[in-house]
Amino acid sequence: CKRMFSKYTCPRCNLAYCSLQCYRAEAHSQCTEPFYKREVEDQIRNAPTATIGEKKKMMELLKRFEEDSRDDDLVASDAEDDNAVAGSDDENGLAGKLEGIDLDSADPDFILSLLSHSQREAFLKTVQDPNGERAQELLASDEIHKSLFLPWWTKPSGQLEDHGPRPAGTRQFGEEPKMLELSQAFLNNAPPSKFSLLHNVFALVLAYAAATRSVGTSPLSSSIPYDALMAEEVISKAVPFLTDPKSTTIFPGVDSAWTNVVSRLDDVSRSTLRILLQDAETLLRPSLISETHSPNPLHGSPLRNTLLAISDVLAVYSGRKRGGTTPSKPVQRKLEFYAAHVYASKPQDWELILAVIRKKSDDLRGDDDTTNMRLEPKPTAMVKKAIIEEL
């Protein structure tokens, strides 16, 4: 600014500056913009107390904030005198930056980079005060609720799809995911189903239900990239044996699988745990009617819903590219392995598992719904270790 002695040096460009105000100058935006971008990202992504759902809400708030900022820019432009400065401000404003950008599919990092310093400060103030008037106004928006879909397995049977306009408050259900394809020869050559492996499937289904409920999108394979990333994060954290290629964990019972998964979830209320148990029961309950007309043999299984859940998990891990590399082959093989064992299982194999699930749900029914529940995982020695055969 040439008005005061320089006390500091920008670590990015080595420019000398005298104060924070000088550092924030528009002429220095090539350094300050990336700095503030990183700060916002760190606040959203690395906050140790932020749950996956809270992070998603932050990103939803950011999108709404950007849309409202665009409207504010237009109103401000109309209120100002019609001069060259106002025209320049409007042209370089957020509305111009967001023109032609699909906020639902755009990368959050890119969206954050479009915010000016003042907009970042306003956004951070909003998300840091979730009970504030501005945050509550954004959270109550119809736009957020329109983007939420109830899990596909909760859709009432026989309900027809209506793709027309939906009245306000109408519940939206997700569509069934696409079933994975395994050849009949592969299924015939699969080793006999082991009862203990079904406890791992129960754990996987719990993690899948938690991920679906967290991101509010169903099926997960239809998620935008950011939601798919969050869903993958929930599943990987809840059932690490899925992504660890060296893991040989096999749960000896429903109790050990349940305790292990719940201990890895963020703090959840007892009512939420009941919902997850009900989800698991629905997804694991054998169907009395099976499809016989489909060329895919998995559709004819009484455990069709279980296989659809495994298929959706596989789609999440297979659909998102990681820096140009292909998805993890061990994850794909494990999921196909579990699918083959589910296909080979008998409906009676699940009777005891479902009975324990119902008992756990009943035990939670009379508890205080407002109490959060944290379970400590059982010692490693209590989790049976076994070598899973190579496919």
Does 292 share its domain with 363? yes
Residue type at 220 in one-letter notation: L
Average pLDDT over residues 87-102: 60
Does 360 share its domain with 252? yes
Q: Could you tell me the pLDDT band of residue 321, with boundaries at 50, 70 and 90?
A: very low
Q: Is 162 domain-assigned? A: no
Average pLDDT over residues 67-85: 50
Decide which of 27 and 202 is more confident.
202
Decide which of 264 and 52 is more confident.
264
pLDDT at residue 108 in the model: 65
Does 315 share its domain with 256? yes
Q: Is 278 domain-assigned? A: yes
Of the three residues 146, 162, 196, the one that is the final residue of a domain is 146
Does 56 share its domain with 205? no
Average pLDDT over residues 66-90: 49
Q: Is 25 domain-assigned? A: no
Does 82 share its domain with 207? no
Q: Is 63 domain-assigned? A: yes
Give yes or no for residue 106 having a pLDDT over 90. Answer: no
Between helices 52-79 and 117-127, what is the axis angle to 10°?
130
Share of the chain above pLDDT 90, in %: 30
Averaging pLDDT over each range in 46-55, 158-167, 293-302, 370-379, which range is the top one? Answer: 293-302
Q: Is 27 domain-assigned? A: no
Give yes or no for residue 192 having a pLDDT over 90. Answer: no
pLDDT at residue 342 in the model: 93
pLDDT at residue 111 in the model: 74
Q: Is 251 domain-assigned? A: yes
pLDDT at residue 188 in the model: 82
Q: Is 310 domain-assigned? A: yes
Give yes or no for residue 84 having a pLDDT over 90. Answer: no
Q: Could you tell me the pLDDT band of residue 129, with boundaries at 50, 70 and 90?
A: confident
Average pLDDT over residues 16-30: 61
Sign of the torsion formed by the C-alpha atoms of 103, 107, 110 and 115: positive
Does 115 share its domain with 203? no
Give yes or no for residue 14 having a pLDDT over 80. Answer: no
Does 123 share its domain with 188? no
Give 216-241 pLDDT, tens digit per residue. 889 998 888 878 888 999 999 999 99
Does 261 share its domain with 315? yes
Give yes or no for residue 207 having a pLDDT over 90. Answer: yes
Does 215 share its domain with 315? yes
Average pLDDT over residues 86-97: 54
Give yes or no for residue 137 having a pLDDT over 80. Answer: no
Does 84 share its domain with 136? yes
Average of per-residue pLDDT values in the chain: 74
Q: Is 218 domain-assigned? A: yes
Does 299 share its domain with 355? yes
Q: How many domains does the chain have?
A: 2
pLDDT at residue 44 in the model: 63
Of the three residues 120, 146, 172, the one that is the final residue of a domain is 146
Which residue has 């809270």 as its token pair?
A: 54
pLDDT at residue 88 in the model: 44
Domain that holds residue 63: 45-146
Which of these ranges, 65-69, 98-102, 163-167, 249-253, has the smallest mean pLDDT? Answer: 163-167
Of the three residues 131, 146, 161, the one that is the final residue of a domain is 146
Does 203 share its domain with 320? yes
Distance CA 216, CA 11 (A): 41
